[in-house]
Every structure is written in C-alpha cells, then in structure tokens.
Amino acid sequence: MPWFKTMLLVIDCLSLPDPKDKHVLAAAIKVNANQIVTNNLKDFPAEYLDTFGLTAKSADDFLTDIIDLNQDQALKAFQEMVLYRRNPEMDEYQVLDRLRRNGLEATANYLHSLL
C-alpha cells in the first residue's frame, strides 16, 4: 500500500479535539517522533499522546530545553542571528524584545541571562 494511503488510514483512526490537527499527530507517529512542538497544547491531550509514546511541548519550552543542552553554542547561534539580521537590523536586546512579543518569553529571558 502506498505510504499516503497508509497515512490517510492512520489519520482517520485518530481522535483529537480539533480534527484539523490529526495530520500532525499522524506525521509524528509515522516518523517515530518523541515530541510534538506546538503552541496549540489544548488540542493535543497528554493522556492521548501518551498512548503513542508522545508528548507535546510549547515552542518556548522546547527552545529553552535546547538552550539548556549547550548554553555556549546557543548563545553563539543567537549572536550570529543578530549579527546577520537585516530588514531591519536589530541589536541583541531588540531581538530579545521581538522574541518576547512573539510568545518566546522564557527563551528570551534565558538568552538574556547568558549575555
């Protein structure tokens, strides 16, 4: 059976609060993911995801976990991002403010603490 037909069968069998999110769960199952990164946590119930060996995490929590794995590398990557930022150019603190305004408050605070 072609992979797309298999995926459609998987999608049809899933049950989430918002049926429009079923393809995300199906993809995570297909690739044996451990985690779904989404800011739409309410539509991915922990108990249901657990039956597939999955968890859901917000983008902010995911990024702070990544920073925690290697703070030096994360800070270097952030500083390079700022260095090459164009249209408009921003300094580190302006980028941190932008991150905060876009829902990445913990990430921005963590990076700020490393500066």
pLDDT at 18: 96
pLDDT digits (tens, 9 = 90+) for 52-91: 999 999 999 999 999 999 999 999 999 999 999 999 999 9
With CA atoms as reference, report the closest residue to 96 among 115, 109, 84: 109
What's the token pair of residue 5? Answer: 């037909």
Residues shown for the chain = 115
Asked if 44 and 88 count as a contact pair (C-beta separation under 8 A), the reply is no
CA 13 to chain centre: 25
Q: How confident is the model at residue 50 (pLDDT cuts 50, 70, 90)?
A: very high
pTM of the model: 0.85
Both tokens assigned to 64:
């702070």
pLDDT tens, position by position, 2-33: 666 676 777 888 999 999 999 999 999 989 99
